Amino acid sequence: MGALQVRASGVWARKQWIAEHHGEAGYDVLARELSPAGRLLLREPIDPKQWINYLLFIEVVIAMDRVFGAGDGTLAIELGRDSAHRNTSTVLKPFIRLGSVGWVLRRASKVWREHFSEGAFEVRFDEPARTAEGEIVDFPYPHIVHTYTVLGFAIGCVELSGASDVTGQVASCRSRGADRTLLRVRWA
């Protein structure tokens, strides 16, 4: 595969989000912020199962945050959350609701390599305290937008399990000079 790759399902979900929240005009505005490769990815039909370049994915999310968000990268949290909901089939959702938060987070960590060509996501949780901590490990190109995306995806997974009042935070990020990338999630 060569360069770090991500599954196109993340871009597919973001294209759906743009259509839902901003319509065709949203694509036009966003396209002006993208490289030719980014514009092509935005405009062409996409197979969610294909692999795309990680840096192209990051470019799209940064541009979306600049155009539709606050410009600080945090729109990626909502986009990751939305992606968890969109990319979970309606067939699987009832089964996920039957599982505990711990079961759902363990499953999410096991499918990491179905979405990213490198790295892993290790999860520790304390269900009685309703908290979990995840660490992105062995990922060669940490970026805060990627970290926010994974945090949002984790929040979405916990929501899919039926938990309410789910919140999360980036405790530390290698892209910000920390030794580790740690995410924390809480729920009611």
Maximum distance among all alpha carbons in the chain? 49
Q: Considering its fold, how many domains does the chain have in total?
A: 2
| 96 and 158 assigned to the same domain | yes
- Is residue 57 helix, strand or coil? helix
- Which tokens hold the place of 170? 């980036």
Lowest mean pLDDT among 33-42, 84-93, 142-151, 179-188: 84-93
Question: Stretch 1-25: mean pLDDT, rounded?
Answer: 93
Query: How far is Cα 91 from Cα 183, in angstroms, rounded to an integer?
Result: 28
| 106 and 148 assigned to the same domain | yes
In angstroms, how far is CA 67 from the centroid of its own chain? 18
pLDDT tens column, 38-81: 999 999 999 999 999 999 999 999 999 999 999 999 999 999 99
| 68 and 92 assigned to the same domain | no
Burial of residue 1 (number of CB atoms within 10 Å: 0-12, 13-18, 19+): exposed
| 92 and 171 assigned to the same domain | yes
pLDDT reported for residue 118 = 97
Q: What CATH number is given to the structural domain containing 138?
A: 3.30.1380.20
Angle at 177 between CA 118 and CA 14, to 5 degrees: 50
Residue 46 lies in domain: 5-73
| 87 and 172 assigned to the same domain | yes
| 127 and 34 assigned to the same domain | no
Give the C-alpha distances (Å, rounded to integers) separating 185 from 42, 128, 139. Answer: 31, 13, 20
State which of 73, 92, 108 marks the end of a domain: 73
| 65 and 138 assigned to the same domain | no
pLDDT reported for residue 108 = 78
| 110 and 62 assigned to the same domain | no
pLDDT tens column, 104-142: 777 778 889 999 999 999 999 898 999 999 999 999 999
